[in-house]
């Protein structure tokens, strides 16, 4: 059956309709005669009918018979019945042919009722138009209506409703339901017109009151929408939030909650005491990125170049990061372990997170967790509290403006647990890939997907991180930098950045390699490069003063004039003694700033066998002293037989610095053996290892930092536990070349090689 698509025009059965024949000019129709049957289909959107497909039309249309065609091309048709459009085809010339079948009406109204209600509505229209100048013309138009369908089709262009709502008149099968819809739209139209003209009509019936209220709301909404379109900069808060919620791509739960809050905001009004709180909530949730970001292929070669560009050394760390990115590239999504970077301050843990974001082309956000003691800092405060705020995780997501940023959780080892809650427990859900796809912040009270976020955590030590949280992360150790690595970092990164920050040109100032090495050796002691950076900036600031004063056109920083730029020597590293003394042995220690050597000093004096321990030693280190004394008594009964007649004093400089840990055990027993056997130990020998009562040497931590400290102090031979041999892979080659590293299993092995 020949079919013509129409838009924003309602056709119902038993209605006379006119259209121009030129609408279908160009269609290759053999004849177009009076009496032919055709169909009208309602378009979903206003599109070119020459491009119409079955998906573009609503499933119900009407059939009609051509009654006349005048000389001017006006076609008069009379609609017959509603039809279901089953299929539609288009010829090359654009002619549309549809397969239709009649759609049954549910005749649930008697003729008398229909006539009575139609006449009542018609009379209402006649009375309505009397108040307007155009009422005489409209009266003749209204008197031509013969049934309710003609009324609806004539008024369809005047109803202030959407096209979808108009189509409901065609879609509904029940005559009574259609009658109610037409009455609702008609009364609403008349009430809306009365409101627009400022006429106050007395409400005579409950239904008409409802129609009026509905009409006013629609009028306000339409006018507000038009104003917003004309002046987007003055858009109302409610309208803006409605638009942002619709465009945000929120999940169903979040959208439901947001619209609930928006409705409360409408009712509250701008003068309401809760308006500000509701506004802040909607502003926050609509600022988040709810849509999944489009996948961007990961270029591993680019990632390697970015990591090498921004960070010197850290070979093992970079390899592990590249492995993580390779897994993500294969899975085409965020996957793999949560990385925990552990190392001394200034080793590049935080900044490498920025490099990962650059390599992936993602947004970067850093969240500092140091000193956080309240669970609500992570998970947010409930909105029932005054001054409620979202947690730091969701606040970071808002700042990033993306759903898949690289998020660095800095200083996770400095979370504080007290009566306010345990923030580390709140992190368990954040860092668990099996749970964080529906992370619920207390402030938002709706789930948010964190599964696409690449989390990177940093810490100086794992000792204070709770075991359940630690199990969710893969630990990557950041070893301290060697002197050579620090030199390269200073030349390639720190000096150029410091010059740029102070405005000094390369032509105005040079820093010799020897001066850089002297700064590293005499003015810094940490494993990282933060202290080195500060010292270089001090040099640049002094140089800036000289250049501005005009004292020099070009400055050169050399070892012999370095003190002029940077002041007196800042660091006094412990170095080995030049002569051997019985009872004194060199040990190795790990600190938060890297490795250091320490001296175990022992001495006996006449007394009653009392043992004195000084140097601010912790409980674990004191226990190591007790174990060492027991072993010495057992191994050297003759030499120690007079111990009860002498007091033993054990001291570990520096006295003001607290010290603890079991790794000095082997050093303590060697010092005691040296004291009681009166045999000195070569000061170029150092050692580290925990001891047991059976005389075994057990593994320790922080080996790379300790060996670097040994090289710096001039040590040549280092005894380490045999079980720490695998850790030598993490030690720089230049450090291993400088040392004779001897793995040992027992105390006897050490003593046999030392004496």
Mean pLDDT confidence for 53-64: 90
CA 344 to CA 501: how far, in whole Å? 25
pLDDT at residue 23 tops 80: no
Question: Is 663 a catalytic site residue?
Answer: yes
Above 80 in pLDDT, residue 669?
yes
- Mean pLDDT, residues 592-616: 85
Mean confidence (pLDDT) of the chain: 85
Dist CA 503 CA 496 (whole Å): 10
For residue 650, give the 3-state DSSP assignment: strand
pLDDT at 668 over 90: yes
Residues contacting 634, CB < 8 A, separation 6+:
none
Tokens of 324: 């993580």
671 falls in which pLDDT band (50, 70, 90)? very high
As assigned by CATH, the class of the 584-754 domain is alpha beta
| 44 close to 6: Cβ distance less than 8 angstroms | no
Residue 749, pLDDT score: 93
Calculate mean pLDDT across residues 624-645.
Answer: 89
CA gap 409, 416 in Å, rounded: 15
Q: Is the per-residue pLDDT at 32 higher than 80?
A: no
**Residue spans of beta strands (DSSP E) within 290-376:** 338-343, 364-368
Q: In 3-state terms, what secondary structure has residue 158?
A: coil
**Do the Cβ atoms of 369 and 413 come closer than 8 Å?**
no
- pLDDT, residue 298, reads 87
In angstroms, rounded to a whole number, what is the distance separating the alpha carbons of residues 31 and 20? Answer: 16
Residue 29 has pLDDT above 70, yes or no: no
Q: Which whole-number Å values give the CA distances from 133 to 142, 157, 198, 330, in the listed order?
A: 15, 20, 15, 74
- Give dist(CA 519, CA 569) in Å, integer: 9
The pairing of beta strand 555-557 with beta strand 509-511: parallel
pLDDT given at position 28 = 53
Contact 705, 479 (CB under 8 A): yes
Report pLDDT digits (tens) over 295-315: 888 889 999 999 988 888 888
Q: What region, left, alpha or beta, does residue 371 occupy, with left being phi > 0 and alpha being psi -120 to 50 degrees?
A: left
Strands 594-606 vs 473-478: parallel, antiparallel or unpaired: unpaired
Q: Where are the domains of the chain?
A: 3-102, 111-230, 236-287, 320-416+447-476, 483-566, 584-754
Q: Residues 663, 684, 716, 745: which is the catalytic one?
A: 663
Does the annotation mark 363 as catalytic? no
Nearest to 651 by CA among 616, 677, 620, 615: 615
For residue 734, the number of C-alpha atoms closer than 13 Å in the C-beta half-sphere is 10
- CA atoms of 176 and 182, how far apart (whole Å): 10
- Of the pLDDT bands very low, low, confident and very high (cuts 50, 70, 90), residue 201 is very low
Q: Above 90 in pLDDT, residue 292?
A: no
Where residue 628 falls among pLDDT bands split at 50, 70, 90? very high
* Fold assignment, 483-566: Helicase, Ruva Protein; domain 3 (1.10.8)
Q: Which of 533, 659, 684, 706 is catalytic?
A: 706
Structure confidence by residue, pLDDT tens digits, 436-475 = 888 889 999 999 998 888 999 999 888 888 888 888 888 8
Q: Determine what percent of the chain falls in helix, strand and coil, rounding each to the nearest 5.
A: 45, 20, 35
199: pLDDT strictly greater than 50: no
pLDDT at 95 over 50: yes
The answer for residues whose C-beta is within 8 angstroms of residue 77's C-beta and 6 or more apart is: 16, 17, 18, 19, 38, 64, 65, 66, 67
**Reported pTM:** 0.60
More confident residue, 705 or 57: 57
Which region among 132-136, 501-505, 543-547, 737-741 has the lowest average model confidence (pLDDT)?
132-136
Task: With cut-offs at 50, 70 and 90, classify the pLDDT of residue 574.
Answer: low
CA distance 215 to 194: 10
C-alpha distance from residue 155 to each of 123, 130, 148 (Å): 15, 17, 11
DSSP 337: P
Confidence of residue 522 (pLDDT cuts 50, 70, 90): confident
Give the Cα separation of 142 and 125 in Å (integer): 8
CATH number given to 320-416+447-476? 3.40.50.300
158 vs 599, which has greater pLDDT?
Answer: 599
Per-residue pLDDT, averaged over 716-738, amounts to 89
Q: What is the model's pLDDT at position 640?
A: 85
Written as six digits, the tokens of 88 are 């539609």
- H/E run at residue 277: helix 275-287
**Exposure b/e, 322-358, CB count within 10 A at least 16 = b:** bebbeebeeeeebeebbbbbbbbbbbbbbebbbbbbb
The answer, yes or no, to whether residue 195 has pLDDT greater than 80, is no
Least confident stretch, 266-275, 563-572, 678-687: 563-572
DSSP class of 25: T
pLDDT of residue 524: 81
Q: What is the mean pLDDT of residues 44-68?
A: 87
CATH 1.20.1090.10 fits 3-102, yes or no: no
pLDDT, position 499: 92
CB contact at 8 A, 580 and 682: yes
Separation between Cα atoms, residue 54 and residue 49, nearest integer Å = 11
> What would the pLDDT profile of 424-444 be if each residue is shown by its tens digit?
888 888 888 788 888 889 999
């Amino acid at each position: 059956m020949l079919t013509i698509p129409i838009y924003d025009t309602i056709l119902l059965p038993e209605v006379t309709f006119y259209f121009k024949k030129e609408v279908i000019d160009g269609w290759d129709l053999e004849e177009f005669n009076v009496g032919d049957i055709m169909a009208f289909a309602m378009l979903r959107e206003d599109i070119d009918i020459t491009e119409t497909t079955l998906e573009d039309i609503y499933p119900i249309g009407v059939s009609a018979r051509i009654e006349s065609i005048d000389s001017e091309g006006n076609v008069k048709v009379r609609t017959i019945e509603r039809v279901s459009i089953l299929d539609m085809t288009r010829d090359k010339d654009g002619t549309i042919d549809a397969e239709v079948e009649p759609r049954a009406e549910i005749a649930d109204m008697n003729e008398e009722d229909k006539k009575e209600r139609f006449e009542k509505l018609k009379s209402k229209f006649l009375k309505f138009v009397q108040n307007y100048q155009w009422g005489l013309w409209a009266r003749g138009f209204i008197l031509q209506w013969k049934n309710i369908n003609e009324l609806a089709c004539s008024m369809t262009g005047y109803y202030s409703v959407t096209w979808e709502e108009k189509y409901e008149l065609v879609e509904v099968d029940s005559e009574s339901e259609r009658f109610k819809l037409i009455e609702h739209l008609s009364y609403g139209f008349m009430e809306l017109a009365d409101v627009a003209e400022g006429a106050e009509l007395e409400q005579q019936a409950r239904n008409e009151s409802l129609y009026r209220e509905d009409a006013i709301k629609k009028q306000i909404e339409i006018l507000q929408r038009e104003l917003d379109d004309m002046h987007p900069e003055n858009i109302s808060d409610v309208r803006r939030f409605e638009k942002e919620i619709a465009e945000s791509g929120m999940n169903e739960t979040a959208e439901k909650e947001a619209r609930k809050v928006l409705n409360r905001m409408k009712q509250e009004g701008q003068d309401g005491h809760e308006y500000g709180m509701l506004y802040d909530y909607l502003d926050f949730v609509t600022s988040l990125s709810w849509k999944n970001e489009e996948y961007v292929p990961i270029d591993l070669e680019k990632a390697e170049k970015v990591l090498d560009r921004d960070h010197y050394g850290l070979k093992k760390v970079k390899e592990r990061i590249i492995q993580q990115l390779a897994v993500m590239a294969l899975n085409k999504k965020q996957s793999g372990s949560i990385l925990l970077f552990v190392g001394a301050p200034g080793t590049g843990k935080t900044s490498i997170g920025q490099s990962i974001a650059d390599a992936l082309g993602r947004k970067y956000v850093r969240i500092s967790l140091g000193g956080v003691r309240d669970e609500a800092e992570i998970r947010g405060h409930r909105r029932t509290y005054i001054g409620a705020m979202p947690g730091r995780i969701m606040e970071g997501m808002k700042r990033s403006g993306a759903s898949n940023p690289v998020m660095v959780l800095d200083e996770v080892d400095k979370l504080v647990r007290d009566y306010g809650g345990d923030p580390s427990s709140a992190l368990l859900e954040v860092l668990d890939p099996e749970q964080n796809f529906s992370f619920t912040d207390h402030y938002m009270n709706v789930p948010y997907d964190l599964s696409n976020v690449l989390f990177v955590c940093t810490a100086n030590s794992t000792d204070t991180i709770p075991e359940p949280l630690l199990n969710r992360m893969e630990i990557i150790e950041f070893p301290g930098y060697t002197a050579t690595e620090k030199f390269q970092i200073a030349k390639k990164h720190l000096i150029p950045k410091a010059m740029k920050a102070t405005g000094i040109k390369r032509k105005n100032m040079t820093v010799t390699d020897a001066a850089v090495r002297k700064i590293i050796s005499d003015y810094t002691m940490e494993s990282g490069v933060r202290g080195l950076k500060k010292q270089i900036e001090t040099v640049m600031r002094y140089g800036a003063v000289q250049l501005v004063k005009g004292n020099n056109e070009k400055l050169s920083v050399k070892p012999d004039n370095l003190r002029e730029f940077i002041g007196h020597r800042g660091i006094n590293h412990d170095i080995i003694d030049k002569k051997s003394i019985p009872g004194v042995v060199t040990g190795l220690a790990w600190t938060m700033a890297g490795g250091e050597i320490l001296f175990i000093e022992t001495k006996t004096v006449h007394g009653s066998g009392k043992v004195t321990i000084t140097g601010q030693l912790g409980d674990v280190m004191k226990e190591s002293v007790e174990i060492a004394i027991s072993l010495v008594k057992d191994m050297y009964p003759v030499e120690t037989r007079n111990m009860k007649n002498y007091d033993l004093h054990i001291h570990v400089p520096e006295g003001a610095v607290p010290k603890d840990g079991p790794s000095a055990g082997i050093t303590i027993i060697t010092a005691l053996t040296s004291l009681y056997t009166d045999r000195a130990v070569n000061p170029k020998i150092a050692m580290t290892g925990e001891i047991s009562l059976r005389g075994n040497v057990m593994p320790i931590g922080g080996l790379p930092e300790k060996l670097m400290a040994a090289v710096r102090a001039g040590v040549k031979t280092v005894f380490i536990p045999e079980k720490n041999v695998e850790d030598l892979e993490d030690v720089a080659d230049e450090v291993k070349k400088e040392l004779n590293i001897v793995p040992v299993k027992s105390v006897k092995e050490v003593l046999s090689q030392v004496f």
